A and B are shown apart, each in its own frame.
Chain A
Amino acid sequence: MILSSSYLLSLTTFIYLGAAALYLIHWIFRVKRVGALAFFVTIVGFIVQTLGLALRWRESYQLGYGHAPLSNFYESLVIFAWITILVYIYIEWKTKRRVIGAFATPFASLAMAYASFSPNVEDTIQPLIPALQSNWLLAHVVTCFLGYASFAVACGLGIMYLMRGTEKGSRNPLLMALPENKIIDDLMHQTMVFGFLWLSIGIITGSIWANSAWGTYWSWDPKETWSLITWFIYATALHARFVRGWRGNRIAYLSIFGFASVIFTYFGVNFLLSGLHSYGSQ
């Protein structure tokens, strides 16, 4: 078959890399048309990737396995990129601020590039081992990655805020092109709240699943514990803002710090620590 999922997903990698480059050009050279093109390319990439995922799902049925493409590290990276783009498209549609694309789409491009080009990432469709054969797989993975993707975008906004904030008052046209501090701050907060909701649901669906698979909803496995650590960090950020009135720089640092914890929960635990949750590293 010419149109295979791996072809479409590799193609997606290039489209997203292109979109990220266009967003950067749009920001740096402030050409309006390039921004519109970047958005168009992102949408095309998203459609191609959606088709690729659907096809991969179908191919797994043809192989006799029959499961959603959420079962190994490669597929999780693809889903991470897919949801990040989805969250970004929503934000751009809501705010009409294309500059944000230069800070959000690189996360998706990097995830896809890592999935496609790293020799350590196995991209074949594998059958589901007994522990993963559950309807909770879809709910758990999608909710967790909605959280992760939102935190990635919030981190991008945090970087944007700090770049703009430190050069306040300067006439640097690059920084002047960014949205006003108040808007970035507000958007960063909203994406963090959104991500926190989904992280919470992701942890809960995970514990319901663990309870039906192993008979224990919480076992302090490193992956579980790190997701809780991430949850504590974002809970701290929300309380600091809600009650202590933290804004701007401090929240931006917390957003970057929180995303570092997300990265460790996602990658670090798989490769550096051992535990029950080792599916993601294969």
Chain B
Amino acid sequence: MKKSSNENPLWRFITSIKLAVFLLITLAITSIVGTLIPQGESLQSYLEHYGPTLFKIIRALHLNDMYHSWWYVSILGFFTLNLICCSIKRLPFTLALYRKDNLNIDPDKLFRMPFKARWEISSGLDDAKKEAIVKAFSKNAGGITGKRSLSDGTLYLSEKGKWSHWGLYGLHASIIIILIGAIIGIFYGFKGQVMLMEGGITNQAIDPQTGKPIPLGFSLKCNSFNISFYDNGAPKEYRSDLTVIDQGKEVLHKAIRVNSPMSYKGITIYQAYYQAVPRVTLKITTSNGHQKTFSLPTFKKINWPEAALSFGVLQYLPNVHGVPAARVWIDNGAGPAQAIWILKNRAREIKMGPNFYKFLLIDAQERYMTGLQIKKDPGVWVVWLGCTSLIIGFIIVFWVPHRKMWLWIGKNDGKDIVVVSGQSSKNRIQFEKDFRRIKQVLEQHVGERL
């Protein structure tokens, strides 16, 4: 490339490959930080783990979410700018290469090419022989793309893969396409989570970052959730049986699994996690003459005003000595609250203040709550387009050569001469083989060695 002295220094800086290499190295080094510091945890956990001094640094540089921080995104932006400017700067050079008339060459120069052969035919060439030579050249070089008659002979050109010079732009543009796809996803898509009890129904997802609801535009019902296990106890399958209800009608019914999501109206629903939710049936008898049976989930505080009692289930274990067990929290306002373990069908009595309370765990069942990941990302296809062109561009840049072969049938000092020469922008080894073959074939047709 030409170096003009009156080039703007800023432009020279932004289009320099040194900057590109510097930015690549900077991206590589800074990216390490986010793999050492866990990303996206609660601020409290960073403070506990790293102490106040490091915590301040983490906060200031957004190291808890560094890949979305202003400075990391700026490096990426700067990298993109450098990429675009480098391409613009290179454009005239490539255009010239692409437009170059490769027939506009002095036949004498052909012999300065990296691959060449020359025959002088003392006996002279008749037209039939010339035609045979041209035909053989055409056949072995992969067709003639151009021909030009000069005063003392004819020049033939076989050119292939001229367009391969554009592969570089395709390759670099694909990185920008991928980034555009990612940006489309950020602005026009969303990610949300849904927790649904079996039998539950919802028309919104929850944004995991802000906790705000996102309307789906339809309702989602979980008919059932199933887990199966292998013999060794490892999970085999998580499956949610879902129904989509749109404007009062059941429009889609599908079982989703990990790796097999479902889509409706551009929104994709993934099996993400699950939770077992126990429901405990408790019968409570008090010494002041109250008795009642309650059915409650864990972590729900129940107030029983008639008996002046508050209680809840803190923990549930499906199997303690062969029976289900629950840890129940009790408060009657007289003295501190208490927590006791009760086993199924074994009544347990405790005294709190003036009263006795008898607890009986009648039944306990585990029901499942499925955790769904909800996503809309209209940019994802743009990302895949970018990925595809990245690979195709890479293959073009490294393996598709621009190869040129010339055949000159002319005269030198009154003698008929045949010159064949060629060059290839890449893969010289293959070209060398191809050229050697053409040389051999032409040698037979020329009928003379030299």
Contacts and interface: CB of A to CB of B under 8 A. Distances in A.
Interface stretch (B28-36, B159-167, B359-367): B28-36
Contacts of A249: none
A229 B31 contact: yes
A79 B235 CA distance: 25
Interface stretch (A38-46, A103-111, A209-217): A209-217
Given A127-B234, A127-B236, A220 B67 contact: yes
Contacts of B20: 239
Interface stretch (B256-264, B275-283, B319-327): B256-264
A11 interface: no
A220 B76 CA distance: 14
Contact of B31 (A65, A197, A225, A239): A225
Interface string B348-382: 00000000000000000000000001110000100
Interface string B209-249: 00000000000000000000010101111100000000000
Contacts, number: 102
B442 interface: no
Contact of B28 (A207, A233, A274): A233
A118 interface: no
Interface string B371-395: 0011100001001100100110011
B35 A225 contact: yes
Given A273-B35, A274-B38, A232 B259 contact: no
Nearest to B258: A130
A236 B25 CA distance: 7
Contacts of B260: 212
A3 interface: no
Contacts of B271: 130
B337 interface: no
A240 B380 contact: no
A211 B268 CA distance: 10
B84 interface: no
Given A130-B258, A222-B35, A244-B17, A232 B394 contact: no
Contact of A229 (B32, B191, B259): B32
Given A200-B391, A274-B38, A133 B31 contact: no
B67 A240 contact: no
A273 B38 CA distance: 9
A235 B24 CA distance: 8
B28 A130 contact: no
B251 to A, nearest CB: 21
28 contacts: A126-B234, A127-B230, A127-B232, A130-B237, A131-B259, A197-B398, A200-B390, A200-B394, A207-B383, A207-B387, A213-B259, A213-B270, A214-B373, A215-B261, A215-B270, A215-B373, A217-B383, A220-B67, A225-B35, A229-B32, A232-B25, A232-B27, A232-B28, A233-B28, A235-B24, A243-B17, A269-B35, A273-B35
The 3 A-B pairs of least Cβ separation, nearest first, read A232-B28, A130-B258, A215-B375
